[in-house]
């Protein structure tokens, strides 16, 4: 699944780099019928003490989301998603460009964020 995620993210970044904003967040969504999705956003500021920083979007991939079907709970989906993002941060085509942002995080839109990278 990582290869499909990498292709999706490469396409977004190729078309939009440099993305305006200070920090990257990957919004995770639980869709209907065991479908899950990831959306890329870039926020105008980053504050580790205030998780609402990710609500101040300067950029969003919008309806262009990475989507897959899996019969798993949200905790496992969160772990898998974070692993894919971390792998991209370490070896993806645009990894160095992403590391220029103050932070990279992931989280379900109605849950807590996990910081995956911070300057």
Residue-level pLDDT at 33: 82
Using alpha carbons only, give the angle 101, 2, 55 rounded to the nearest 5 degrees: 40
Residue-level pLDDT at 109: 87
CA dihedral 116, 85, 99, 108 (to 10 degrees): -50
Residue-level pLDDT at 34: 84
Q: At 111, is the secondary structure helix, strand, or coil?
A: coil
d(CA 93, CA 53) in angstroms, rounded, equals 26
Read off the DSSP letter of residue 71.
Answer: -
Residue-level pLDDT at 2: 95
Residue-level pLDDT at 37: 97
Residue-level pLDDT at 93: 97
d(CA 38, CA 80) in angstroms, rounded, equals 12
Residue-level pLDDT at 101: 96
Residue-level pLDDT at 38: 97
pTM for the whole thing? 0.94
The mean pLDDT values, 10 residues at a time, for the chain of 119 residues are 96 92 96 91 93 90 95 94 98 96 94 92
């Amino acid at each position: 699944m990582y290869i499909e995620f990498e292709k999706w993210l490469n396409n977004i970044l190729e078309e939009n780099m440099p993305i305006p904003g200070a920090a990257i967040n990957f919004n995770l969504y639980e869709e209907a019928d065991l479908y899950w999705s990831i959306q890329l956003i870039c926020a105008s500021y980053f504050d580790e003490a205030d998780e609402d920083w990710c609500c101040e979007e300067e950029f969003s991939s919008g309806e262009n989301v990475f989507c897959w079907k899996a019969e798993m709970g949200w905790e496992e989906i969160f772990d898998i998603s974070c692993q894919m993002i971390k792998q991209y941060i370490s070896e993806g085509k645009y990894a160095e460009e992403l590391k220029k942002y103050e932070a990279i995080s992931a989280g379900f839109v109605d849950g807590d964020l996990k910081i995956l990278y911070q300057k």
